[in-house]
Copies of this chain bind each other. A is one copy, B any other.
Amino acid sequence: MKKYISLIAVLLIAASLQSYAQTSASTNVIGREYPKVNPDNSVTVKISAPEAESVSLDLGKQYPMVKGADGTWEVTSEPQAPGFHYYSLRIDGVRVADPNSQLFYGSGWMSSGIEIPELCVDYYLEKDLPHGEVRMQRYWSELTQAWRICYIYVPAEYEQNPDKRYPVLYIMHGAGEDETGWSTQGKLDNIMDNLIDEGSAVPMIVVMDRGVAVIPTDKPAGRFNLFDFTDFEKVFVGEIIPMVDSHYRTIADRDHRAIAGLSLGGFQSFSLAIHNKNLFSYVGGFSGCGIPGSSNDLYPASLNDDFKLIFISTGRMESPQMYATVTNFHDVLVGNGVKHVFYQSPGTGHEWLTWRRSLYRFAPMLFK
């Protein structure tokens, strides 16, 4: 019997490796052969550019591409971590998106991106179970005098329960990203669908709005400061939360409201939560946490009474500076006696797999 089980195991592994041979990336434009993901998770990129003098791939680091006789340039990168990576091409010195890739708003432009499949992991993949929706809601912001679009995840059961009200997680993107980040790069709807279906997370609404707001009359002279959240907090508290509470069946109190974000959005989440303890009882910061430039006194042990959960996380492979930001804040919380969950994602840097994993761990701890 054992022999058969071993045989089946070998066949299963072989089958999964087979489906894992060099394949066109799932993030390609439909029908495009390249980029391809190789069995070792390296990436092969190709582009036809007979007249170009130099072409290179920027995938975390620069890879000069080599021109073939037919004018096609090609390079294979080093093995990549699984998950989602932004990349770009440089053609005769101009940084452009790869025409073969779907594009994703990140780094302040529409960037090429590639998804590297992760073996034996399916918590962020589509599965055959009830699916929620991501809804795009336009609304007018009186404070900023601008139309905004909010992306809102509602759980699969939402429409079947027209009288039921739900708790709300507000989740923030990073610098240079926007309200589309969590549902595309982050695969948030799959993660929530899967967690809710298996009973790990309670059904909840998740709000993804843009983490930028400039109030014209409040605008100080001089350069825009990314880490000054004054205007954004006014819009968030005065307009975004009321819009959500009026358009969706929310439970509109602090016990049923959480906020979390990645990188810049992590700093924003802590700022919003600590400045508005009447509004939030759960707070999370993924690869970014605490209020920028704040003193350690801002995090006294009394936070244990203020929040039901403080969650911070980082990728183990983040740059020393990024890593230190989170671990230093962890040390402050420990030193001050503030209870919190600290998750470190193995093998990943400042990237979406760190944040998918963080959400996967954070969401089940909410509203229970």
Contact = CB atoms under 8 A, between A and B. Distances in A.
A313 to B, nearest CB: 27
A11 to B, nearest CB: 22
B110 A138 contact: no
Identical chains in the assembly: 2
Contacts of A52: 91-94
A151 B89 CA distance: 31
A341 to B, nearest CB: 30
B49 A92 contact: yes
A29 B109 contact: yes
Contact of A99 (B48, B93, B109, B159): B109
A100 B97 CA distance: 11
A128 interface: yes
Nearest to A146: B126
B136 A49 contact: no
A322 interface: no
A53 interface: yes
B91 A29 contact: no
B135 A131 contact: no
B135 A135 contact: yes
Given A53-B51, A92-B91, A133-B135, A31 B108 contact: yes
Given A50-B93, A93-B51, A95-B99, A131 B138 contact: yes
14 contacts: A29-B108, A29-B109, A50-B93, A52-B94, A91-B91, A94-B99, A96-B96, A99-B110, A103-B103, A110-B110, A131-B138, A134-B136, A138-B189, A159-B247
Interface of A: 29-31, 47-54, 89, 91-97, 99-103, 105, 108-110, 126, 128, 131, 133-140, 147, 159, 162, 178, 183, 189-190, 212, 247-248
The 8 closest A-B pairs by CB, nearest first: A51-B93, A162-B162, A96-B96, A49-B94, A133-B135, A103-B110, A52-B92, A134-B136
